């Protein structure tokens, strides 16, 4: 039976693109059918549209209440939600409607370097300033608190002497591109619809 994924994204969307491509290449029954974005004309719009996936903007009010986003998810019969660089809070109504069916990726080894305001390059900068010898990614379910949901998987990479935030980001992104689609695929395969 076909399973439909929606991705929530806020910015560049390289993970969104990578996950869409992963499932398209498999030509299986699980596909990304929708991207929902909270930033008007973020780069992720072009990436999704080029791959034939509709990307819909929802404004601040829509995210505050959640009703409009929820209607869209119902209308498109979404089974599973993947956050990929999504920087807003997921409304409670959606959390309740998708228990254990919303996952997030964070570019550090949580619980280190997580929490509100910790995203993207800020995380890598903080890891370098703390003198860490390794970093990595965390894939987790989400709950009502930023970066505190149950951890599903973590993958590690070294922090090398003299690393810039950009260099570390590239190493962490490589982990995201390799593992996030695989983990999503496994989790979606387990859900019953
Ligand atoms: C990714 O590195 C992701 O882990 C991070 O934002 C980046 C988005 O890149 N997410 C967070 O920091 C969430 N707290 P992308 O838009 O190119 O996929």
Q: Write down all domains in the chain, each with its CATH number in brackets.
A: 3-107+139-154+176-190 (3.40.50.170)
* Gap between the Cα atoms of 83 and 98, Å rounded: 13
pLDDT in tens, 53-76: 999 999 999 999 999 999 999 999
Catalytic (active-site) positions: 106
Q: Using an 8 Å Cβ cutoff, are 40 and 12 in contact?
A: no
Q: Which residues line ligand 1 (CB under 6 A)?
A: 9, 11-15, 84-85, 105-107, 119-120, 123, 173, 176
CA of 1 to the centre of ligand 1 (A): 30
pLDDT of residue 147: 80
Q: With a threshold of 0.95, does the pTM exceed it?
A: yes
| In the predicted structure, residue 51 carries a pLDDT above the cut 80 | yes
* Gap between the Cα atoms of 161 and 5, Å rounded: 39
Say if strands 151-158 and 102-106 run parallel, antiparallel, or are unpaired.
Answer: unpaired
Q: In what order do the strands lie in the sheet with 80-83?
A: 54-57, 30-37, 3-9, 80-83, 102-106, 134-141, 151-158
């Amino acid at each position: 039976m076909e399973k439909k994924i929606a991705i929530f994204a806020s910015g560049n969307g390289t993970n969104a693109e990578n996950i869409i491509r992963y499932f398209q290449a498999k030509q299986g029954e699980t596909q990304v059918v929708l991207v929902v974005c909270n930033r008007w004309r973020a780069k992720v719009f072009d990436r999704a549209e080029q791959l034939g996936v509709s990307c819909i903007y929802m404004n601040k009010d829509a995210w505050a209440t959640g009703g409009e986003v929820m209607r869209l998810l119902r209308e498109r019969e979404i089974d599973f939600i993947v956050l990929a660089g999504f920087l807003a809070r997921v409304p409670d109504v959606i959390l309740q409607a998708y228990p254990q069916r919303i996952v997030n990726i964070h570019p550090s080894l949580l619980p280190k370097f997580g929490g509100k305001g910790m995203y993207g390059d800020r995380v890598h900068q903080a890891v370098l300033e703390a003198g860490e010898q390794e970093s990595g990614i965390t894939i987790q379910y989400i709950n009502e608190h930023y970066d505190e949901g149950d951890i599903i998987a973590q993958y590690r990479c070294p922090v090398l002497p003299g690393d810039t935030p950009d260099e570390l980001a590239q190493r962490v992104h490589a982990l995201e591109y390799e593992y996030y689609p695989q983990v999503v695929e496994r989790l979606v395969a387990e859900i019953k619809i």
